[in-house]
A and B are shown apart, each in its own frame.
Chain A
Amino acid sequence: MHAIDVRELRKSYPKKIPLPFRKVEWIEAVKGISFRVRKGELFGLLGPNGAGKTTTIKILTTLLEPSGGSAEVLGYDIRKDAREIRKRINLVAEGERTLYWRLSAYENLKYFARIYYVPKNEEKERIEQLLRLVGLWERRNDLVMNYSRGMKQRLAIAKALINDPEVLFLDEPTLGLDVQSAVFVREFIRKLVDEQKKTVLLTTHYMAEAEELCDRIAIIDHGKIIALDTPSGLKRLVKGEDAVQIRVRDLSFQGIKSLPWKLVIVKEDAERGTVTLRGHVSEEDLPKVVESLVKTGAKILSVEQKEPTLEDVFIKLTGRALRD
């Protein structure tokens, strides 16, 4: 049995509240995705904003009703067995406002322990253990509103472990965190899988995070899974192709569209007026690319050959950078 088994899952959102006798238009957010997550696996859904990652997580955590297809979590049907699933899973939702800021860390965990039916005799010990684990025990009585973004996220993770879930869903767990906090969260997630044998499904649009953390990754775009493999397996899709990164100033956006090579913008630095382009260009073509860019009025700041990354896989599969 797989921890998560998703078959042809679909989800459409109504543009207006679907009241009886009201004709409503629907927007398809998830378009028939299928994947399986093994027990003890760290599985990533990687994709740009609006790709359908959060919708998928919400369906699997029984917060949303799917429009079609089916899914099982720990062998339970998401439509019929919502309560059974909720007892065995937990979720770190996207954003920092998922906890009660006017309660302390301890009070938050106490509240969630009760609504997750944690046995009363285990409650105190569990809360202390979790707060120590995320390094917040000394600040347990402080109101969450006085915590930093990183501390709030650590508490959100502690909350997600309150019922000792078998499967953990993490929606963009490092979004908006400073580098130090993001590193802590990533290491913590990896430990949960390696040491506590938890199954984790996380969504991210950070390629490095997906590459560093996940055992397998499904790349999702416009509601469809366009590739699914291990990070190294995915990178094999661009094996032998040279990834080139060019940093330029005064780039003409129209100019790069007319070039015969597929170059996409992966970074824009508005303050410095620079743009970083990335694409697959052979060694022979590289001088021609540079020359063409210069002709469009761009000033070349640097040209680097890079090891292929998941970004290159995404570019190859979609023709766009993940940031789009």
Chain B
Amino acid sequence: MPLGAVIEKELRMFFRYPLRVFSAVLVGIVFLLQFVFFGQAVLGGRYSQLLASSTGIGDYPTYALIGYVLWWLSVSPMEAYVWGIRRELQRGTFETSVAAPIRITELLLGLALSWLLMDSVLMMVVFVFGVLIFHISLSLPVVLKSLPVLLLSFLSFLGFGLIFAGLVMMFKNIGPFAQIFEFSMLFFSGVFFPLNVMPRGVVLFSQIFPLTHSVTAIRAIFTGKTYAEVLPSISWLLILVLFYWITGYALFRWAEKTTRVMGYGGY
């Protein structure tokens, strides 16, 4: 299966270098520690009444850990397209793969899925580390209950990332542009602080990011809420899945057409 071949190839290249894997895990952990300790320092402890009343989770490490892991996963497909395709363009391998009968959408989806898979493994390690180091109480049913929402979130993240797939083929180096979005999501999606402390306009703007709804839904599930209670966030995610996949695909097709006029290669 061609999609499987792309994923296998990416995983092989990533896990071939243990140092690279170790460094990725280390970076993930260091950033988490920084954010959690910074948050605690500002709050004056690990518990916040403001957080509890606005999000249902008053324990800052739990709050930040969920937000941080989901943020990392949300930018994964975007990073796959922006840096993954760029790397292939630089290597000169992109054209070799595009010349094959595999559909280009399948090729790119394989790339995004493999990065999402790698980041999921990475974030699993970071999550377990966070749970242990901050003594976060966690139960298996809660984790299992959050999985369908997580899968729906993945779908929306993949659609959101697709917008960047076309752009990178056309413009080649859009890393800095993509980083604006990555950090906007960190800021606007309530990853490290509740959105209700922000101006109303910003809160409204934050609704366009799938991460906002993903974080809200999963945090709510962690506090014991039912799917029915998180239906608004799930509905938002479903709408955004459709919106970003359709918009992303249309933009990608246009970009691909333009790229075929200019050429895939050339870095």
Contacts and interface: CB of A to CB of B under 8 A. Distances in A.
A69 interface: no
Nearest to A83: B101
A239 interface: no
Given A13-B263, A87-B101, A115 B258 contact: no
A123 to B, nearest CB: 10
Interface string A72-83: 000000000001
Interface stretch (B88-96, B176-184, B208-216): B88-96
Interface string A129-159: 0000000000000000000000000000001
Contacts of A98: 92-93, 95-96
Given A64-B260, A97-B91, A115-B107, A102 B97 contact: no
A114 B9 CA distance: 11
B45 to A, nearest CB: 47
Contact of A14 (B95, B257, B261): B261
B101 A93 contact: no
A93 B92 contact: yes
Given A86-B101, A98-B96, A58 B91 contact: no
A103 B91 CA distance: 13
Interface in B219-266: 257-258, 260-264
Contacts of B97: 115
A101 B2 CA distance: 20
A95 interface: yes
Interface stretch (A104-112, A216-224, A245-253, A304-312): A104-112
B136 interface: no
A133 B13 CA distance: 26
A91 B91 CA distance: 17
Contacts, number: 90
A179 interface: no
B5 A63 contact: no
B144 interface: no
A99 B99 contact: no
Contacts of B257: 65
Contacts of B170: 17
A115 B263 contact: no
Main secondary structure of the interface of A (DSSP, over half): loop
B1 interface: yes
Contacts of A18: 258, 261-262
Which of B1, B5, B101 has its CB near the most chain A CB atoms (within 10 A)?
B101
B4 to A, nearest CB: 7
B13 A102 contact: yes
A63 B100 CA distance: 10
Contacts of A107: 9, 12
A276 interface: no
A107 B11 CA distance: 12
Contacts of B200: none
B171 interface: yes
Nearest to A107: B12
Contacts of A204: none
Nearest to B13: A102
Contacts of B262: 13-14, 17-18
A45 to B, nearest CB: 18
Which of B1, B16, B263 has its CB near the most chain A CB atoms (within 10 A)?
B263
A14 B170 CA distance: 12
A137 B13 CA distance: 21
B171 A93 contact: no
B97 to A, nearest CB: 6
B96 to A, nearest CB: 5
A275 B8 CA distance: 53
Contacts of B93: 97-100
B9 A111 contact: yes
A210 B258 CA distance: 34
Given A63-B95, A100-B13, A102-B13, A115 B101 contact: yes
A112 B4 CA distance: 12
A253 B263 CA distance: 38
Which of A17, A61, A90 has its CB near the most chain B CB atoms (within 10 A)?
A17
Nearest to B4: A114
A19 B5 CA distance: 34
B258 A17 contact: yes
Contacts of A61: 99
A62 B263 CA distance: 10
Interface of A: 13-14, 17-19, 58, 61-65, 83, 86-87, 90-91, 93, 95, 97-103, 107, 110-112, 114-117, 159
15 contacts: A61-B99, A62-B99, A65-B260, A83-B101, A91-B96, A91-B99, A93-B96, A103-B9, A103-B12, A111-B6, A114-B4, A115-B6, A115-B102, A115-B107, A116-B101
Given A90-B99, A95-B92, 8 more contacts: A19-B258, A65-B257, A65-B260, A87-B101, A97-B91, A107-B12, A111-B9, A116-B102
Counting from the closest, the 6 A-B pairs by CB-CB distance are A114-B5, A97-B92, A115-B102, A86-B101, A65-B260, A115-B100
